[in-house]
Amino acid sequence: MLRSSLTSATRRGLSAAAAEPPTKKVAVTGAAGAIGYAMLMRIASGQMFGPHVPVELQLLETEQGLKPLKGVAMEIKDGAFPLVRGITQTADPNTGFGDADVAVLVGARPRGPGMERADLMNANAAIFAVQGKAINDAAKKDVRVLVVGNPANTNALVAAANAPDIDPAQFMAMTRLDQNRAMGQVAIKTGTPVRDVERVVIWGNHSSTQYPDLSNALVNGKPALDVINDTKWVREEFIPRVQKRGAEIIGARGASSATSAASAAIDHIHDLYVGSGDAWQSLAIRSDGSYGMDKDIWYSVPCRCPGDGVYERVLDIPSPDEYSAAMMDATRKELLEERDAVKHLLPAATRKQAGTKPARKKRAKKATA
């Protein structure tokens, strides 16, 4: 008979090595929708935090959405995902965000027939004000919040303004989808695998005014603009296509982006927590005056993600040329207009800050979330 030669100390060491990491509690709003559905299976399989990190899914829906949400939860259970430690289904924001480590705010009201943009913005801002308050009251104080529902940048502003006990730097709006779209177009144009396209930047708003910038981009380590060597294509085809890609997809499939949006949200959180080294990632974060932008708007900028929920602005880049500066300013102006349109949903202190003049300061040092 074989006998174990392991000492008790060795056994304790192996046991400690086998101990799993702490469970991540992930709150997802609009969880029964197309984006949420596509995202949840990937979170459950370990693609958000890595293959060894267990997750607890806290799924938030409207009262009307609870029935389809039940079916989504059934499918997650039927997937027998080894990392899933629990599933909560609720229409109560305080329950849904309870002790959350990460909150992905997907659910938003879609634009209806004859609905003006300002009306849609006000309706969604009201939703995100409620969610911001619930996150403030129920989530962990070091929670990281990713806003996906549109208008994402301004919804992030509203949510953060209504969560006074949480650092606004922990609220982000998603422009990773735009970055992924831009990288895909460059890869197609240059006949290069997308993995070899780097440092594509999305500046500003997740809207048709965004600026997909190739000024610092690389293709196989070479300047992308030199490899492409076609300014007309960049300005007249590439930029408009990325800016309006969402509408193009709706026109083709009769519905808005779902799988690609879910994939971008996974990419965003994965890089934020697992890290992506020296790679540049576009994050819409609270402006601190860097790049000459107004403070306290959520403006997409290039960041490095060392991991553990931290990001750092990329500040060691050349000043923009005249064309880029104009594009960056156009999307800045739209964000100011959006902020002004929802001022009534901002707490008094935030409204006062929102009335300040643009901050034209030198580029700040690194910031972390």
Known binding residue 216? Answer is: no
Known binding residue 34? Answer is: yes
Please, which residues have CB within 8 angstroms of residue 125's CB and are 6 or more apart in sequence? 154, 155, 158, 342, 345
**Spatial distance between the Cα atoms of 169 and 156, rounded to a whole number of angstroms:** 10
**Spatial distance between the Cα atoms of 336 and 110, rounded to a whole number of angstroms:** 22
Known binding residue 36? Answer is: yes
Angle, CA 65 vertex, CA 162 and CA 257 arms, to 5°? 80
Known binding residue 46? Answer is: no
Known binding residue 3? Answer is: no
Q: Which of 16, 20, 17, 22 is nearest to 308 (CA)?
A: 22
Known binding residue 229? Answer is: no
**Can 206 be counted among the known catalytic residues?**
yes
Known binding residue 297? Answer is: no
Known binding residue 117? Answer is: yes
Report phi then psi at 22, rounded to 5: -60, 145
**Spatial distance between the Cα atoms of 368 and 170, rounded to a whole number of angstroms:** 8
Known binding residue 11? Answer is: no
Which residue in this structure is represented by tokens 């997937």?
79
Q: Which residue in 206, 268, 270, 344 is the catalytic one?
A: 206
- Cα separations in angstroms, 179 against 45, 113, 135, 267, 327: 24, 29, 28, 11, 16
Which residue in this structure is represented by tokens 């949480």?
166
Known binding residue 153? Answer is: no
Known binding residue 224? Answer is: no
Please, which residues have CB within 8 angstroms of residue 146's CB and are 6 or more apart in sequence? 102, 103, 104, 105, 172, 173, 174, 265, 268, 269
Known binding residue 197? Answer is: no
> SS3 for 343?
helix
**Cα dihedral across residues 163, 167, 170, 175: positive or negative:** positive
Binding residues: 30-36, 111, 117, 124, 148-150, 181
- Where in the sequence numbering do the catalytic residues fall? 206
Annotated binding site for substrate: 111, 117, 150, 181
Indicate the annotated binding residues for NAD(+): 30-36, 124, 148-150
